[in-house]
């Protein structure tokens, strides 16, 4: 990859040692002749990433989700440094960032392209999600009655606590907790997983790239809540269905040249006791 000459930093100061780590990495970048800029809050202002070769996000996955829309619009690769808990998206540890940062600045990395979901809930109400779109009743204790169409064809209707529409990247997040499948992050698909469905036969459904999904609220006197990546809510027009598609934009995510997705999944989800563990002995 080309060397990085302009680098933005987004730092979650609430995370342990994040400000100190940012100071260290910014000094390394400046010593290498890289122009740097920094933001300590997210989401960042529109245009913050314009003209940048990359963005170094120091925090947790939530911090990275807060910058993902702007990074996708500007097509700026994200270097995620984990100072949170799981860190599926922020793939560099603090130690890895320190030891590999000079190499990253030289362009010694690979970039993976992650799909996003585009969601519309009515005129002027649309947004992008890297992980998932959650649809549920505005009142947490109420079940919803949702009818789902794919390209105009009825899929089925659900009585449940909600529906999760997940990207492959988000398959290890809320989707996984709700019993949904793990999906390789480069697959261009959407996973739909019901939350606590009121039937024994409902399972996740995988939809192809290019599908247009429409979700109708069929419960009278109820309003839907549509949450994007668990961070932002869209206003729902009562006369319009919720429309979900795979967005044209992709998020560019920086990884080490020796990055292994399944190694990360085994580590983060603590898979053990199988063949992969026996091979180590």
C-alpha distances (whole Å) from 142 to each of 31, 104, 136, 137 are 56, 49, 9, 6
Q: What are phi and psi of 213, to 5 degrees?
A: -100, 135
Catalytic residue, candidates 17, 40, 61, 157: 61
Q: What single DSSP character describes residue 171?
A: G
In the residue annotation, 157 being an active-site residue is answered as no
In angstroms, rounded to a whole number, what is the distance separating the alpha carbons of residues 219 and 204? Answer: 22
**Exposed e or buried b per residue across 76-107, where buried means at least 16 C-beta atoms within 10 angstroms of its C-beta:** bbbbbbbbbeebbbbbbebeebeebbeebbee
In angstroms, rounded to a whole number, what is the distance separating the alpha carbons of residues 206 and 68? Answer: 23
Query: How long is the chain?
Result: 281
Report the DSSP pairing between strands 35-39 and 54-59.
Answer: unpaired
Bridge partners of 185, per DSSP, are none
In angstroms, rounded to a whole number, what is the distance separating the alpha carbons of residues 205 and 155? Answer: 10
Catalytic residue annotation: 61
């Amino acid at each position: 990859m080309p060397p990085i000459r302009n680098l933005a930093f987004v730092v979650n100061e609430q995370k342990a040692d994040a400000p100190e780590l940012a100071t260290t990495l910014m000094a390394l970048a400046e010593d290498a002749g890289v122009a740097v800029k920094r933001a300590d809050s997210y989401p960042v202002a529109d245009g913050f990433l314009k003209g940048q070769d990359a963005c170094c996000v120091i925090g947790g996955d939530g911090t990275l989700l807060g910058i993902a829309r702007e990074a996708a619009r500007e097509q700026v690769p994200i270097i995620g440094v984990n100072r949170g808990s799981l860190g599926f998206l922020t793939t560099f540890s603090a130690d890895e960032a320190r030891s590999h940062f000079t190499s990253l600045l030289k362009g010694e990395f690979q970039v993976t392209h992650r799909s996003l979901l585009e969601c519309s809930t009515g005129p002027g109400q649309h947004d992008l999600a890297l992980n998932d779109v959650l649809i549920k009743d505005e009142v947490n204790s109420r079940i919803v009655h949702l009818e789902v169409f794919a390209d105009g064809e009825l899929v089925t209707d659900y009585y449940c606590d909600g529906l999760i529409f997940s990207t492959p990247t988000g398959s290890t997040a809320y989707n996984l907790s709700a019993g949904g499948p793990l999906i390789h992050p480069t697959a261009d698909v959407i996973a739909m997983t019901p939350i606590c469905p009121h039937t024994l036969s409902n399972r996740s459904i995988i939809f192809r790239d290019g599908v247009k999904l429409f979700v109708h609220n069929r419960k009278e006197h109820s309003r839907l809540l549509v949450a994007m990546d668990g961070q932002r809510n869209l206003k729902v027009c009562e006369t319009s269905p919720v429309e979900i598609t795979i967005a044209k934009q992709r998020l560019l995510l920086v990884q080490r040249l020796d990055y292994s997705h399944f190694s990360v999944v085994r580590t983060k989800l603590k898979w053990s006791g199988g063949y992969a563990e026996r091979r180590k002995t």
